[in-house]
Amino acid sequence: MDKPLHSCMTKAVIGDGDQLRTGPKWITARRGLLKLYSDRLTCGDWTIAYDDIREAVLSSFRSPILRIPGYILAVRTDNDTYHFGLNGWRYWKGELPLPVTRNQTRLRMSLISILARVVLIGYALYFVWTWMSSR
């Protein structure tokens, strides 16, 4: 068995079209180790041969709130489109073992993500207010 050229932790989903937004699909995403070999990539029991890839797009972005850099690797085959959420490591800026199109994009927030943040901020403000008023 050959050694991977690179491996990293990822969150991954199978989805149609554009998954460049936060939301429920990413909450329940597969967490695992993405391994890139000379002829394929694997994540858990998913194995995608580079010969089966019809299109691969590596989108770089900064998170909407803390501006943390990251990447989404979208890999389209005849049957599925896989989306891998990746940290902003330097590895992704260099040569990759598979042909990719690179672009920069904005990570959009879904309505559920916005509502969750509003509730969290509201709860934090309420907690601070009750703590301050009890002193």
**80-135, pLDDT tens digit by residue?**
889 998 988 878 888 899 999 999 877 666 666 677 778 888 989 989 998 888 87
HSE, side-chain direction, 13 A CA sphere, residue 74:
17
Average pLDDT in the chain: 85
Lowest-confidence pick of 33-37, 63-67, 83-87? 63-67
What kind of fold does domain 6-108 have according to CATH?
A: PH-domain like (2.30.29)
Task: Give which of 36, 19, 111 is closest to 71, Cα–Cα.
Answer: 19
* pLDDT above 70 coverage of the chain, percent: 84
- Cα separation, 59 vs 11, in Å, equals 15
Domain ranges of the chain: 6-108
Which long-range CB contacts under 8 A does 99-103 form with residues at least 24 apart? 99/56, 100/56, 100/57, 100/58, 100/73, 101/55, 101/56, 101/57, 101/58, 102/57, 102/58, 102/59, 102/60, 103/57, 103/58, 103/59, 103/60
Neighbours of 25 (CB within 10 A): 15
